[in-house]
Chains A and B, each alone.
Chain A
Amino acid sequence: MSNKFLENPVIKWIEYRLPVFSFINESVGSGYPTPKNLNYWWNFGSLAGIVLAIMVATGIVLAMNYTPHVDYAFESVERIMRDVNYGWLMRYIHMNGGSMFFIVVYIHLFRGMYYGSYKKPRELLWIIGIIIFLTMMATAFMGYVLPWGQQSFWAATVITNLFSAIPLIGEYIVTWLWGGFSVDNPTLNRFYAFHYLLPFVLFGLVFVHLWALHVHKSNNPLGIDIKGPQDTIPFHPYYTMKDLFGLGVFLIFFMFFVFFAPNFFGEPDNYIKANPMVTPTHIVPEWYFLPSYAVLRAVPDIWFISAKLGGVIGMFGFTLVLLLLPWLDRSPVRSAQFRPIYRQFFWVFVADCFILGWVGANTPDAVFYGIPFLWIGRVATVYYFGHILVLIPLISILEKPKTLPDSISAAVTAKGAAPDTAQGAAE
């Protein structure tokens, strides 16, 4: 922020009473020092924030035209599509925006795992991120129920029924969640209320996430600490511009789906109004839940734990186990760039997540070249948990990392660059 701006008497008057301009400047302005070597994987955090804003903006106008009642919900969505000015656009942006949100956040998560962004001193930053992710999933699930199509209704039925697996009190919890004896009007009403509330909770969590981020600043592709001003550049204009460029590219991708394939991520069955008496023959969750859905179905009866309860534990454990990552990974080196063994297993892990998603999209009794999907799912589930709980700790102890560069500046500027670590110089 230029001094000229701060010298303006009106700005000065406000700043003296509420230092909002210096706060902005130190958060996303020229007063925020950022590692000079961030690559494009660092765009996805700000993209996630922008998608959240897009979702709130489109969501509020949809809310003005939506009726949360079992007799009118489906029809009110059709009215938005046909009669409301640009209603189709608002709904398609919101609908595909949900998928975009998950794409961006999944990349953001994988980036954190590759570059060790969860390690000391960013453990809480990571944990807040996982809580944001869980809140997002709850918001997305409840939003999917609102159009009250067949997939909406049966997704709500199957997912709420998961809680009946809890011993003793499970049935009471399910009735309590429903506010009745099946998914019905009370359920739709409360899901709408929560779907409206949770994005604001998300805003609050994002604020805390950024607060924690700004204490120790961004991690970077080298995973080494900022040692002085020579390692940083101001956030504005360098990263504001880079984020805006990334946003442009991302919006091309996003708008392609909105305008040319708006139902690509959806299920055609959801254009049939919910019918509590008929289950569609093939129920699939939205794509972003497919990996955890595969885990749900992969768990067999184990000792005294039924397949149903085991599946539910596995499904929630799928995300919750990530909370332990900062303590499971004992390697002092953050970036996988300097961890030859971990880097290879990281890509196996990414592939495993895709395999789980592919299994989740198929029926459990389906067969792939003679191999039942059930067994592919079981192997992939064992690998998923094995990777996080066994391989990550083991590799972090046994692996011999490569030598770290002396500083960010030494590694990425021509002056101080050793030839083999100059990859960031293109920045």
Chain B
Amino acid sequence: MNETASSDDKTRRDFLLLSTITVGAVGAGLAAWPFVDVMNPAADTLALSTTEVDLAPIEVGQSITVVWQGRPVFIRYRTAAEIKEAEAVALSDLIDPQADKDRVQKPEWLIMVGICTHLGCIPLGQKANDPKGEFGGWFCPCHGSHYDTSGRIRKGPAPKNLVVPAYTFLTDTTIKIG
């Protein structure tokens, strides 16, 4: 009688201990989450997450840089020659294979985040007299990455093509990025 009671007592103790620890750990985890999430982007930061751009003043062959989420976005009105050059590249020649048509909604408008995918520098090539690298697109001066006229990585340490952000054409000449 006594033995049964004590072994019952033992399993009951174990159960109580384990369930207390489990519930305690879940509670501690839940209490810790706000302290983690408080460091994520705040509502006002998120509210600035879209940018509208009027494309009408941009001429063929010209590039502009706009700010989206504090980052530069390159918008290039590509010439027919640049589009042809970008489309003609074989996918097997690319470090991060992606067809030009998958990087644009309208072939003449190339829109991408102007941040080198290596370590976050801003590539050169937006201004007419900037170095444009060996592939006629952009060149990152920090560690020497070359991008082509579709913003794809062709040579250098960057692992990925320049990122194409989500954007929609609101009208023929206005876009909303984000």
Interface residues of A (CB under 8 A from B): 154, 157-158, 161-162, 175-184, 186, 190, 276-279, 281-283, 297, 306-308, 363-365
Residue B42 interfacial (CB < 8 Å): yes
Contact A181 B69 (CB under 8 A): yes
Give bound CA distance, A363 to B140, whole Å: 13
Give bound CA distance, A177 to B143, whole Å: 24
Contact B69 A182 (CB under 8 A): yes
B contact residues around A176 at 8 Å (CB) = 36, 39-40
Residue B119 interfacial (CB < 8 Å): yes
Contact B70 A308 (CB under 8 A): no
Give bound CA distance, A178 to B42, whole Å: 11
A contact residues around B24 at 8 Å (CB) = none
Contact B120 A175 (CB under 8 A): no
User: 17 A-B contacts, Cβ less than 8 Å apart?
Assistant: A157-B119, A158-B120, A161-B119, A175-B40, A176-B36, A176-B39, A176-B40, A178-B41, A179-B40, A180-B69, A181-B49, A186-B41, A281-B142, A308-B119, A364-B143, A364-B144, A365-B144
Q: Which of B36, B41, B72, B121 contacts A283 (CB 8 A)?
A: B121
B contact residues around A182 at 8 Å (CB) = 69-71
User: Shortest distance in angstroms between A176's beta carbon and chain B's nearest beta carbon?
Assistant: 5
Given A186-B42, A190-B39: A277 in contact with B72 (beta carbons within 8 A)? yes
Residue B122 interfacial (CB < 8 Å): yes
User: Shortest distance in angstroms between B38's beta carbon and chain A's nearest beta carbon?
Assistant: 9
User: Shortest distance in angstroms between B155's beta carbon and chain A's nearest beta carbon?
Assistant: 11
B contact residues around A184 at 8 Å (CB) = 45, 70
**Which positions 137-153 of chain B face chain A at CB distance < 8 Å?**
140-144
A175, A180, A297, A363 pick with most chain B CB within 10 angstroms: A180
Give bound CA distance, A205 to B89, whole Å: 57
Contact B141 A277 (CB under 8 A): no
Give bound CA distance, A176 to B33, whole Å: 13
User: Shortest distance in angstroms between B144's beta carbon and chain A's nearest beta carbon?
Assistant: 5
Number of interface residues of B (CB under 8 A): 25
A contact residues around B36 at 8 Å (CB) = 176
Give bound CA distance, A283 to B45, whole Å: 28
Give bound CA distance, A237 to B148, whole Å: 70
Residue of A nearest to B45 (CB): A180
User: Shortest distance in angstroms between B129's beta carbon and chain A's nearest beta carbon?
Assistant: 15
Q: What string of 1s and 0s marks CB contacts (under 8 Å) between B110-146 and chain A?
A: 0000000011111000000000000000001111100
Given A179-B40, A297-B143: A279 in contact with B69 (beta carbons within 8 A)? no
A contact residues around B164 at 8 Å (CB) = none
User: Shortest distance in angstroms between B149's beta carbon and chain A's nearest beta carbon?
Assistant: 21
Contact A279 B142 (CB under 8 A): yes
9 further A-B pairs in the complex, CB-CB below 8 A; given A161-B120, A177-B39, A181-B71:
A157-B121, A161-B119, A175-B41, A181-B69, A276-B72, A279-B140, A279-B142, A364-B143, A365-B144
B contact residues around A177 at 8 Å (CB) = 39
Residue B97 interfacial (CB < 8 Å): no
**Which positions 30-70 of chain B face chain A at CB distance < 8 Å?**
36, 39-42, 45, 49, 65, 67, 69-70
User: Shortest distance in angstroms between A154's beta carbon and chain B's nearest beta carbon?
Assistant: 7
Residue of B nearest to A159 (CB): B119
Given A181-B70, A297-B143, A365-B144: A186 in contact with B45 (beta carbons within 8 A)? yes
The 5 closest A-B pairs by CB, nearest first: A181-B69, A182-B70, A279-B121, A161-B120, A279-B122
User: Shortest distance in angstroms between A123's beta carbon and chain B's nearest beta carbon?
Assistant: 31
Residue of B nearest to A172 (CB): B40
User: Shortest distance in angstroms between A410's beta carbon and chain B's nearest beta carbon?
Assistant: 56
Give bound CA distance, A357 to B72, whole Å: 32
B contact residues around A186 at 8 Å (CB) = 41-42, 45
A contact residues around B142 at 8 Å (CB) = 158, 279, 281-283
A contact residues around B118 at 8 Å (CB) = 308
A contact residues around B49 at 8 Å (CB) = 181
Q: Which of A183, A278, A297 contacts B122 (CB 8 A)?
A: A278
B contact residues around A178 at 8 Å (CB) = 41
Give bound CA distance, A175 to B41, whole Å: 7
